[in-house]
A and B are shown apart, each in its own frame.
Chain A
């Protein structure tokens, strides 16, 4: 009897102890798929991996982060940033049409809704690492590189915020926790546009001073270098000098671009315009890019954008608006000029070579056959196979495509092209634009080696492009037009147009034009070309010069965060 009681009591004790210990440990389960903060800050390898992962952001929407999580901007997603400009439309909408149709609103931000939240999330993650850097056991020179790298990533996020929203909330080095006062007014006070740019430029100056000049065995390709920081600074100051911003001088922008040119480290890739985009290593033009590899790929571009007759899905469809802007190769003149040599009966003959590298048109050779967008009967028209994928514009995207990758059934064997964030041609064009505005076309400013016109001609003279040089005697306003042409054509589909038409304040013209395509009718061996509207209702309002801050962010701030005007 006594023994039995004892056993019972022991059991009871055991049970209750178990119960209590269970209960105590319950909230302290250690996740096996994540590192704890103290490991992150005590192991330099884990820490560095954390830093490198900050080049990538969180996936926040459906229809993005295809393959791997998004980097900066939009990059190679199914619907590209080009499809909310006058470069292309996206065949299957994916939240791009509402932007093309001028219905962008705080509650309807569509594809453009992720920049604000993703950037601020990344800025917090960077700040966490910056604050922990001091306690990390690591060689001092490498610590400085990491510091510069983190400042660069954070500055890139701010640059994305600034060029989309204008003045932003500057967070400094703060890392907020749930226990902090999340209604603190300072979290929702937007700095002016000038303050925002000044802060980011200062950060980039610091980053440039810390970062290594080149990539190498200790600093893998794809990580930011001094040149990347300087090139981003040059871009931001070019924006800052532009009419929409008007926060700094053109001279400052020219100086910043000259700082990259003066490195004598980068040059125009001479292996052909089309070969540049797939070439990663040893490409002297790339300043900063995101690299992809097997199992860490982006969208399979060839099938996603290919013509329906090839088994492609016709994703981002170049607009007639862009096609019409390619000049004639022989004369360098726009097709609207009667002396350009353009023939409306043969519209795809004799154009700027970059047209042929960028756009698939009726009659283009592609992957062993000819693109046929004509009707009746064209295999890449609505009369072809899988005609729900056929182009609404009569064109398909060619730029970035790598013919070595399979188009059909490409899964796992395509999607490795680098997304180039910054390349030397952009720097030269930034310089040409800024120097032309500050000094005129033919002045070589003190400390520089190129005039605006010379810089522009370097881009036009690329082997395989060889467009006629802009002649001496060109006026400042003519060179301005030439720079705008060059950016339109050279940088097409690389996420420049959206920002260029805004900062030049020509968006109310360019973005209010109908989204046009072409209907090609074949009778015998003769084609007739008729312009058509490919997407109805294209529209742009003054308020669309800046994106609306998503409504959820405004509400979370108790309406303290100031929305952009007129939204």
Chain B
């Protein structure tokens, strides 16, 4: 048994084997018609990794193995709802101490109890199978407009915020939590600590696994370049007025955090939304 936070008994070996297969495509188009010009290009990558060998214990259940699955998938209990009443708890397999407001876990192997054998490997990990982007630009006379979109799909991210008596709740959980006065809440009851709750860290489950697909406008810029006739009047060599924005909007199902983050406790700094207005002048 290897010590915690120190060298393993047996030296690490590079014995894992992963194959990745996929396609990559880029398509671009530019056109100019008099004062009007435009262009567009897009890229698309589909890459699926497959773990061919990883040093797993021989007794790991087939549906829990990493081997044969993509990298970074999660082993999770399947959350299939929230207990609303004691009768519901009594008639389904449940954990010791389950109470109304707790997540219902699927008895995947149908043995009448919730055990580690009910954990199932997730379809996707937090490495996207699909990443894509698009760059658009338009020009009309002295005006130019460009935009960069980026996105990912077929990807999951597990985020259980470290919440509890220390606070630190996402508002969607705090506002929609099950409580004796909000028995229809869409989130489980809150606990002293999420990481040691049967709705959280003790039984990591699909409730906290989000579809981290997104499409994000990474950058957009609108500019106006002053024509030469006006420049000489102002004794300038060049001048350009612009307004640009980063991360102006994101289309995603993730509600509470940045879908580009990859920390399971949600502890990452989100990408900022930045809007600049500026002038570039040279004399």
Interface residues of A (CB under 8 A from B): 58-62, 64-65, 93, 95, 97-98, 101-103, 105-108, 117-118, 120-121, 178, 183, 536-537, 539, 541, 551-552, 554-560, 567
| Other-chain residue from B6, B57, B97, B202 in contact with A108 (beta carbon distance below 8 A) | B202
Say whether B202 contacts A103, CB under 8 Å: yes
Given A58-B3, A98-B202, A541-B96, A105 contacting B115 (CB threshold 8 A): yes
Residue of B nearest to A556 (CB): B57
User: 7 A-B residue contacts at CB 8 Å?
Assistant: A93-B193, A102-B96, A106-B116, A117-B1, A536-B192, A552-B57, A558-B59
Chain A hits for B119, CB < 8 A? 107
Chain B, residues 174-199, CB within 8 Å of chain A (1/0): the string is 00000000000000000011001010
Residue of A nearest to B166 (CB): A388
Given A60-B3, A105-B115, A555 contacting B97 (CB threshold 8 A): no
B129 interface contact, C-beta 8 A: no
- Pick the 6 closest A-B CB pairs, nearest first: A117-B1, A107-B116, A555-B57, A555-B59, A559-B59, A558-B58
Chain A hits for B203, CB < 8 A? 108
17 new A-B contacts, CB < 8 A, other than A61-B4, A567-B115, are A59-B5, A93-B192, A95-B196, A97-B192, A97-B196, A102-B96, A103-B202, A107-B115, A107-B119, A117-B1, A537-B97, A539-B96, A541-B96, A551-B116, A552-B57, A555-B58, A558-B58
Chain B hits for A556, CB < 8 A? 57-59
Say whether B96 contacts A103, CB under 8 Å: yes
Cα–Cα distance between A559 and B3 once the two chains are bound (Å): 23
Chain B hits for A106, CB < 8 A? 115-116
B25 interface contact, C-beta 8 A: no
Chain B hits for A552, CB < 8 A? 57
Chain B proximity of A192: nearest CB distance (Å): 23
Cα–Cα distance between A64 and B6 once the two chains are bound (Å): 13
Say whether B97 contacts A101, CB under 8 Å: yes
Cα–Cα distance between A60 and B60 once the two chains are bound (Å): 22
Chain B, residues 189-231, CB within 8 Å of chain A (1/0): the string is 0001100101000110000000000000000000000000000
Chain B positions 2-50 with a Cβ under 8 Å from a chain A Cβ:
2-6, 10
Residue of B nearest to A63 (CB): B4
B95 interface contact, C-beta 8 A: yes
Say whether B6 contacts A59, CB under 8 Å: yes
Cα–Cα distance between A20 and B58 once the two chains are bound (Å): 38
Chain B hits for A97, CB < 8 A? 192, 196
Chain A hits for B97, CB < 8 A? 101-103, 537, 539
Residue of B nearest to A538 (CB): B97
Cα–Cα distance between A65 and B5 once the two chains are bound (Å): 11
| Other-chain residue from B3, B60, B96, B196 in contact with A59 (beta carbon distance below 8 A) | B3
Residue of B nearest to A97 (CB): B196
Chain B hits for A536, CB < 8 A? 192
Interface residues of B (CB under 8 A from A): 1-6, 10, 57-60, 95-97, 115-116, 119, 192-193, 196, 198, 202-203
Chain B hits for A558, CB < 8 A? 58-59
Say whether A60 contacts B95, CB under 8 Å: no
Say whether A183 contacts B58, CB under 8 Å: yes
Given A93-B193, A558-B58, A103 contacting B3 (CB threshold 8 A): no
Chain A proximity of B195: nearest CB distance (Å): 8
| Other-chain residue from B10, B57, B95 in contact with A178 (beta carbon distance below 8 A) | B10
Chain B hits for A103, CB < 8 A? 95-97, 198, 202
| Other-chain residue from B59, B116, B196 in contact with A98 (beta carbon distance below 8 A) | B196
Cα–Cα distance between A539 and B115 once the two chains are bound (Å): 18
| Other-chain residue from B4, B95, B96, B116 in contact with A62 (beta carbon distance below 8 A) | B4
Residue of B nearest to A108 (CB): B202
Cα–Cα distance between A551 and B95 once the two chains are bound (Å): 17
Chain B hits for A560, CB < 8 A? 59
Say whether B58 contacts A59, CB under 8 Å: no
Given A98-B196, A183-B58, A555-B59, A120 contacting B115 (CB threshold 8 A): no
Chain A hits for B198, CB < 8 A? 103
Residue of B nearest to A60 (CB): B4
Say whether A554 contacts B4, CB under 8 Å: no
Chain A proximity of B233: nearest CB distance (Å): 67
Chain A proximity of B68: nearest CB distance (Å): 17
Cα–Cα distance between A48 and B204 once the two chains are bound (Å): 46
Chain B hits for A101, CB < 8 A? 96-97
Chain B proximity of A185: nearest CB distance (Å): 13
Say whether A118 contacts B1, CB under 8 Å: yes
Say whether A60 contacts B58, CB under 8 Å: no
Cα–Cα distance between A108 and B202 once the two chains are bound (Å): 7
Cα–Cα distance between A64 and B192 once the two chains are bound (Å): 22
Chain B proximity of A223: nearest CB distance (Å): 24
Chain B proximity of A419: nearest CB distance (Å): 20
| Other-chain residue from B3, B60, B192, B196 in contact with A555 (beta carbon distance below 8 A) | B60
Chain A hits for B59, CB < 8 A? 554-560
Chain B hits for A62, CB < 8 A? 4-5
Cα–Cα distance between A557 and B59 once the two chains are bound (Å): 6
Chain A proximity of B96: nearest CB distance (Å): 5
Chain B hits for A555, CB < 8 A? 57-60
| Other-chain residue from B1, B4, B116, B196 in contact with A121 (beta carbon distance below 8 A) | B1
Chain A proximity of B119: nearest CB distance (Å): 8
Residue of A nearest to B99 (CB): A537
Chain B proximity of A108: nearest CB distance (Å): 5
Chain B hits for A102, CB < 8 A? 96-97
Chain A hits for B2, CB < 8 A? 60
Chain A proximity of B79: nearest CB distance (Å): 16
Cα–Cα distance between A541 and B59 once the two chains are bound (Å): 27
Residue of A nearest to B164 (CB): A93
Chain B hits for A539, CB < 8 A? 96-97
Cα–Cα distance between A243 and B2 once the two chains are bound (Å): 36
Cα–Cα distance between A529 and B17 once the two chains are bound (Å): 64
Chain B hits for A60, CB < 8 A? 1-4
Chain B hits for A541, CB < 8 A? 96
Chain B proximity of A504: nearest CB distance (Å): 22
Cα–Cα distance between A507 and B31 once the two chains are bound (Å): 81
Cα–Cα distance between A106 and B115 once the two chains are bound (Å): 8
Chain A proximity of B5: nearest CB distance (Å): 7
Cα–Cα distance between A118 and B3 once the two chains are bound (Å): 9
Cα–Cα distance between A65 and B198 once the two chains are bound (Å): 27
Cα–Cα distance between A97 and B202 once the two chains are bound (Å): 11
Cα–Cα distance between A64 and B5 once the two chains are bound (Å): 11
Chain B proximity of A490: nearest CB distance (Å): 32
Chain A proximity of B59: nearest CB distance (Å): 4
Chain B proximity of A97: nearest CB distance (Å): 6
Say whether A120 contacts B1, CB under 8 Å: yes
Cα–Cα distance between A400 and B96 once the two chains are bound (Å): 35
Chain A hits for B202, CB < 8 A? 98, 103, 108
Say whether A65 contacts B96, CB under 8 Å: no
Chain A proximity of B202: nearest CB distance (Å): 5
Cα–Cα distance between A541 and B94 once the two chains are bound (Å): 14
Cα–Cα distance between A120 and B57 once the two chains are bound (Å): 18
Cα–Cα distance between A98 and B2 once the two chains are bound (Å): 24
Cα–Cα distance between A3 and B63 once the two chains are bound (Å): 69
Chain B proximity of A534: nearest CB distance (Å): 11
Say whether B57 contacts A58, CB under 8 Å: no
